[in-house]
Amino acid sequence: MTPWLVWGGALAATLVLAAWCTPRAWWRRPNLRALAVLAGGTLGFGLLFAALMPAAPVPVPVPVATAVAAAGPAAGARYRVVADLNLREDHGVRATRMRVLPAGTVVSTTGATDGDWWRVRVDGGAVEGWASSLWLRRTDERH
């Protein structure tokens, strides 16, 4: 159950019980006694409601090695270039551009990655360089 619902319910319960159990004169104008009743009642009921609610499920952490392995491409996987893409000698936009791969070119991965940069092979493995994976899609994926 969400916290705002717990504390909203606690405030509502406090207001209802305060209206039934306290003198009407206390509520004619704001005073410290009314504020203390509202704050104390809301705190008390909120803690009670929170203790009675079932605990939220705890997410299971994914091991780092699994998360990193799932993020990168498998060696030999084939991808299609979706827009003209620079093939570079090293990863990063400041690395020397070797050539521009036109949209539709199919590349295969070596498995080496550095963030969004993947090492790929072009022309049946004759040319190898780094490309931004943001411009690559699986060959079976529609674009």
Domain boundaries, the chain: 3-52, 73-138
Percent of the chain residues past pLDDT 70, beyond the cut: 91
**Residue 38: partners with Cβ closer than 8 Å, 6 or more residues away:** 11, 14, 15, 18
What does the alpha-carbon distance between residue 4 and residue 49 come to, in Å, rounded to a whole number? 12
Residue 89, token pair as written in the block: 């000698």
Strand ranges inside 12-135, DSSP E: 78-81, 85-88, 97-101, 106-114, 117-122, 127-132
Q: pLDDT confidence of 22, banded at 50, 70, 90?
A: confident
Q: pLDDT confidence of 106, banded at 50, 70, 90?
A: very high
- Nearest Cα neighbor of 133 from 83, 66, 76, 65 is 83
Tell me the mean pLDDT in the region 106-135: 92
What does the alpha-carbon distance between residue 95 and residue 99 come to, in Å, rounded to a whole number? 12
Residue 112 pLDDT: 92
Choose the weakest-confidence range: 6-15, 16-25, 85-94.
16-25
Helix (H, G, I), strand (E, B) or coil at 9: helix
> pTM, whole model, 2 decimals?
0.51
Tell me the mean pLDDT in the region 31-50: 88
Topology of domain 73-138, CATH: SH3 type barrels. (2.30.30)
Q: pLDDT confidence of 70, banded at 50, 70, 90?
A: low
25 or 118: which carries more pLDDT confidence? 118
